[in-house]
Each structure stands twice: as C-alpha cells, then as structure tokens.
C-alpha cells in the first residue's frame, strides 16, 4: 500500500529548503521569517499527539537549519520555535497548537517591527547630501534609506555589483523605484571611490553579529571596512537582534558558506582552474563605528550586554 503524503507536510519544507539553498529566498531577515512561517505551517498541518508534532517540528527545523549555514537568524528562529514548543510539551494537541501558533505570530511580528524600528532609528543618521555606499542587498539597509528619503532627506547611494551573484543589482532596482539616485560600481572600485572622497558613510546589513561585535556579511564587506578605516569613512551596520549570535564569541567561529564554483565562472572556459567561492566574510569589531539595532544605535562593544539581556531562552 502506498503512503499518501499530506499536501502541507514535509515536501513543503523541502521546497522552502531548496528555495533558501538556491537563493530564491535570501537575505538574513527574510530567511528567518520564511523559515519561521514554514515551522508554523508544520504545526498547523501536524496531526497526532503533542509529542509527535514536536518531532515533526524538530525534523523540519533540522532540514531548514541545513539550508544555509552562515545566517545566524536561521538557527536562532528555529531554536526559538522549538523552545516555545518544548515549553508546552505537556499540553493537549489542540491547546498546544493554538498557543504555539499565537506565540509564533508574535515572534514574526516582532521581527517585522524590529525592521521598522531600525528604519526609523537609522534614518536619523542619513543627512542631506550624504553619499552612502552599500554592498550586496540588505532589506534592513533599504528600509533605512527609504525611510530617510520619505522624510525628505536628499542623498545618493553608491552600490557595489556584489560578485558573483550581483545582488547589488537588486539594491539598485529597489532604490531607483523609490527615486533615490544610485551609482553602480564594480566591487574593485571601492577603494578608489573612497580615496577620491566620494563617500561619506558605508551602510551594510549583516548575517551574523558575534558577541565581541565582529560581524559576518556578504563576501567583500571586510575589504570595504578596511578601506573605510583607511580613508576615515564611517562604517555602519544595520541588524535586527535575531542576527545576534549568542554562541559565537568571535566571527571566526561562524561557518562561512562556500558556494558552487559555477557561480564564479563556467569552468569549461578555463579548464584546470581551482575555484574558491566563499559567500561571506568577517569584519572585525574594530573596523565598525556603530551598529543600528531595534534597541538603538550602539558601538560593537555593547553587543555583549544586549546578548546577555535579550537572549534569555536556552538553545
Ligand atoms: C545577503 C547579505 C545581506 C545580509 C543582510 O546575502 O549578505 O547583507 O543577509 O540582509 P545573500 P537583510 O544574498 O547571500 O543572502 O538586511 O536583508 O537581512
């Protein structure tokens, strides 16, 4: 007898895992929100007793967790849902589901509110005539720039292409849609652009913030930070606290995703070459001037305190 799989069961999780792996779903905050919504769907479609639903959740969590290794917001959000579930493991399935879904909705709302709050706080550091350089595509950075523009600040943005996946193009499109002036540069033009005094501030997002204030973001970010330091340009990071990594004292402890060589070059064209394609890098805390979070603007040294206060739940 063939076993029928319910429509919303694990294959839906597999589809999302693939979407995250293939970067159809990407950007650290978006990944966390989509993964959390997927966990919610597992609960909604889950049948059996509470213990069985928790097992399904754990299974889905493991699959989702493995989809991309660097964005800490992903394991953080999965671990939080599992923590909420474990706390309710003695409830009957109906009450368990109802309570858990309510808590997950609150959690998703909190992540969305954090983004809005950061946009509001971050918009205050954007001044008229600023030239702001950004790298890759960060929804958090875009939210800040949009908010500042809506408030009437007039500035322009320099966006790096962000090889090899060219996420800079997504940023360019989004900013142009809002009427914000944008200049696109190749990644290797960052130093010259800063040296010729064309940049006032660098504003980037992050996939992870370590307890010592190091951040992990798209490959190339650390070179931009070095260059900013050398040229006296402020280097600013915008992140929701879901990207804080209570388990990582320093950036070096976070796994850096290596992606397919085919993203860099069609190997048929350069036979015999080895390709190294890390997707993220580590920017040391001492290169970072400020971190904008939903709790306010802080120096990287303050991350430790925030992690202690905000991450009271167990992993
Ligand atoms: C995206 C990237 C973004 C951070 C923050 O990398 O490095 O800067 O994820 O994004 P990828 P956000 O394209 O490989 O996912 O602010 O949207 O969370």
Average pLDDT over residues 148-171: 98
pLDDT band at 251 (very low <50, low <70, confident <90, very high): confident
Q: Where in the chain is the domain with CATH 1.20.120.420?
A: 11-116
Torsion of CA 218, 223, 227, 229, to 10 degrees: 80
Q: Where in the chain is the domain with CATH 3.40.50.10470?
A: 124-314
Choose among 307, 75, 69: nearest CA to 210: 307
Q: Active-site residue 191, yes or no?
A: no
Query: pLDDT tens, 172-211?
Result: 999 999 999 999 999 999 999 999 988 999 999 999 999 9
The preferred substitution site among 19, 25, 165, 207 for testing ligand 1, maximizing ligand atoms within 8 Å of CB, is: 207
pLDDT at 1: 39
Full-model pTM: 0.94
Query: pLDDT tens, 25-59?
Result: 999 999 999 999 999 999 999 888 999 999 999 99
Could you identify the atom of ligand 1 that is nearest to the CA of residue 139? 17
| Residue list, ligand 1 pocket, CB within 6 Å | 23, 26-30, 71, 136, 138-140, 167, 205-207, 217-218, 279
pLDDT for 310 beyond 80: no
CA–centroid distance, residue 27 to ligand 1 (Å): 3
Task: Residues 11-116: name the CATH superfamily.
Answer: translation initiation factor eif-2b, domain 1 (1.20.120.420)
Q: Decide: 245 and 282 in contact? Cβ < 8 Å.
A: no
Position of tokens 């967790």? 65
Cα 307 to Cα 310: distance, rounded to the nearest angstrom: 5
Query: pLDDT tens, 51-110?
Result: 999 999 999 999 999 999 999 999 999 999 999 999 999 999 999 999 999 999 999 999
Q: What is the DSSP string of 226-277?
A: HHHHHTT-EEEEE--GGGEETT-SSGGGSPPPB--GGGT--GGGSTT-----
Percent of the chain with pLDDT over 70: 95
Q: What is the DSSP string of 144-167?
A: HHHHHHHTT---EEEEE--TTTTH
Choose among 78, 84, 13, 9: nearest CA to 48: 9
Q: Radius of gyration over alpha carbons of the chain, in Å?
A: 21
Q: Decide: 206 and 217 in contact? Cβ < 8 Å.
A: yes
Instruction: Tell me which range, 6-10, 43-47, 276-280, is most confidently predicted by mean pLDDT.
Output: 276-280
Output the six-digit token pair for 177. 């849609």
Residue nearest to atom 12 of ligand 1 (CA): 138
pLDDT at 315: 38
Of residues 130, 177, 178, 207, which has the active-site annotation? Answer: 207
Q: Active-site residue 136, yes or no?
A: yes
Non-local (6+) Cβ contacts of 184 within 8 A are: 158, 159, 160, 161, 168, 169, 172
The preferred substitution site among 72, 136, 244 for testing ligand 1, maximizing ligand atoms within 8 Å of CB, is: 136
Position of tokens 């800079």? 168
Choose among 282, 142, 296: nearest CA to 219: 282
pLDDT at 3: 45
Task: Residues 124-314: name the CATH superfamily.
Answer: Translation initiation factor eif-2b; domain 2 (3.40.50.10470)
């Amino acid at each position: 007898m063939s076993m029928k799989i319910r429509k919303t069961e694990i294959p839906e999780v597999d589809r999302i895992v693939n979407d995250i792996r293939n970067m159809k779903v990407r950007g650290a905050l978006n990944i966390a929100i989509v993964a959390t919504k997927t966990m919610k769907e597992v609960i909604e479609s889950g049948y059996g007793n509470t213990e069985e639903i928790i097992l399904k959740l754990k299974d889905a969590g493991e699959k989702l967790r493995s989809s991309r290794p660097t964005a800490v917001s992903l394991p953080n959000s999965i671990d939080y849902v599992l923590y909420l579930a474990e706390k309710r493991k003695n409830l009957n399935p109906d009450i368990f589901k109802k309570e858990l879904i309510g808590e997950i909705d609150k959690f998703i709302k909190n992540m969305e509110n954090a983004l809005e709050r950061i946009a509001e706080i971050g918009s205050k550091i954007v001044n008229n005539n600023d030239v702001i350089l950004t790298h890759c595509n960060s929804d958090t950075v875009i939210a800040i720039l949009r908010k500042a523009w809506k408030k009437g600040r007039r500035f322009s943005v320099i966006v790096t292409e962000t090889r090899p996946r060219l996420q800079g193009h997504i940023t360019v499109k989004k900013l142009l849609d809002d009427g914000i002036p944008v200049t696109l540069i190749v990644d290797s033009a960052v130093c010259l652009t800063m040296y010729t005094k064309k940049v006032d501030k660098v504003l980037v997002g992050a996939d992870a913030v370590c307890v010592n204030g190091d951040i992990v973001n798209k490959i190339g970010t650390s070179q931009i930070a070095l260059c900013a330091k050398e040229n006296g340009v402020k280097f600013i990071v915008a992140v929701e606290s879901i990207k804080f990594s209570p388990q990582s004292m320093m950036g070096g402890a976070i796994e850096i995703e290596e992606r397919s060589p085919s993203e860099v070059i069609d190997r048929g064209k350069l036979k015999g070459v080895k390709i190294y394609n890390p997707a993220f890098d580590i920017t040391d805390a001492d290169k970072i001037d400020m971190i904008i979070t939903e709790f306010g603007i802080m120096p990287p040294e303050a991350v430790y305190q925030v992690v202690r206060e905000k991450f009271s739940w167990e992993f």
